[in-house]
């Protein structure tokens, strides 16, 4: 079992409510999302949801792969690739080992909203079967490091 934790504080929302059909219809994979709005002001550090290696890093998204080969995608906001890195600061490099909770990207959810994008952050279990995820924290308020789901 692999516990996947929240990369940032916010409220957990069901994946199907994410305002992007690619994520909402689980085309990328199953998972959940964190809405950082409501109380989160200024810069936020998005942390690694699992221990592993940072195999992909973009200003707005990153993937951590565990030692047993399971990858978790954290996407910081919706359509934020269109911001061309503005408002996002990677803190590590692709290939770096990471520990759960270690800061990966510093960003500003408010600035994302001001730019007309949603700050909702999908957290996706890549190449997972939907039935292999349990223990969802949907509807709960979370702090960075709190459990989002368990990947069995």
Which active-site residues does the annotation give?
75
| Cβ atoms within 10 Å, residue 39 | 9
Are 54 and 104 in contact, with CB atoms under 8 Å apart? yes
- Rounded Cα gap, residues 110 and 124, in angstroms: 23
Roughly how many angstroms between the first and final C-alpha of the chain, as a whole number? 4
Cα distances (angstroms) measured from residue 19 to each of 14, 24, 80, 119, 122: 11, 7, 12, 10, 10
**10, 38 in Cβ contact below 8 A?**
yes
């Amino acid at each position: 079992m692999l516990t996947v934790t929240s990369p940032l504080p916010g409220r957990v929302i069901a994946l199907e409510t994410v305002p992007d059909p690619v994520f909402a219809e689980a085309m990328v994979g199953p998972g959940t999302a964190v809405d950082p709005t409501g109380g989160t002001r200024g810069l936020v550090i998005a942390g690694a949801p699992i221990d592993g290696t940072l195999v992909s890093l973009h200003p707005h998204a990153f993937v951590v792969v565990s030692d047993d080969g399971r990858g978790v995608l954290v996407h910081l906001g919706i359509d934020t690739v269109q911001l061309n890195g503005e408002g996002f600061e990677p803190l590590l490099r692709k290939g770096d080992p990471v520990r759960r909770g270690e800061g990966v990207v510093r960003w500003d959810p408010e600035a994302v909203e001001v730019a007309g994008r949603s700050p909702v952050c999908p957290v996706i279990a890549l190449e997972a079967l939907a039935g292999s995820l349990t223990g969802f924290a949907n509807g709960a308020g979370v702090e960075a490091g709190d459990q989002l789901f368990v990947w069995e």
